[in-house]
Amino acid sequence: KAGVTQTPRYLIKTRGQQVTLSCSPISGHRSVSWYQQTPGQGLQFLFEYFSETQRNKGNFPGRFSGRQFSNSRSEMNVSTLELGDSALYLCASSFQTGGANYGYTFGSGTRLTVV
């Protein structure tokens, strides 16, 4: 079956602009979560969506937002980009039942560079 698809793979934006990243989960997976990876902070949880509802958000400013559609595809948006937002953004989908998580499948990520 197809894996998790993230688009675009690479993105270069200017400070102050906004950006939208897309993630298509594995078919049948209703949970999608987003992570930011930087050399300094490592991998950090951004937010998780399940059935179109944001279940939780990590310690990130309000400039970071997301949503999930009825087909489980998810988008994350970063407004007013800062240089420090340069990172690899990873999306993961998971199959959850009864509150149990059976492991995440990650996409290849979107490499965002803010100049």
Partner 1 sequence: SQQGEEDPQALSIQEGENATMNCSYKTSINNLQWYRQNSGRGLVHLILIRSNEREKHSGRLRVTLDTSKKSSSLLITASRAADTASYFCATDGGGADGLTFGKGTHLIIQP
Query: Which residue ranges make up the site for partner 1 (CB under 8 A)?
Result: 4, 33, 35, 37, 42-48, 50, 55-56, 58-59, 88, 90, 92, 99-109, 111
What's the closest the beta carbon of residue 115 comes to partner 1, in angstroms? 19
d(CA 72, CA 58): 20
Q: Which of 85, 95, 7 is nearest to 46 (CA)?
A: 85
What DSSP state is assigned to residue 84? G
Q: Which of 46, 48, 22 is nearest to 108 (CA)?
A: 22
What's the closest the beta carbon of residue 13 comes to partner 1, in angstroms? 19
What's the closest the beta carbon of residue 73 comes to partner 1, in angstroms? 17
What DSSP state is assigned to residue 26? P
Which one, 92 or 114, has the nearer CB to partner 1? Answer: 92
Which one, 51 or 80, has the nearer CB to partner 1? Answer: 51
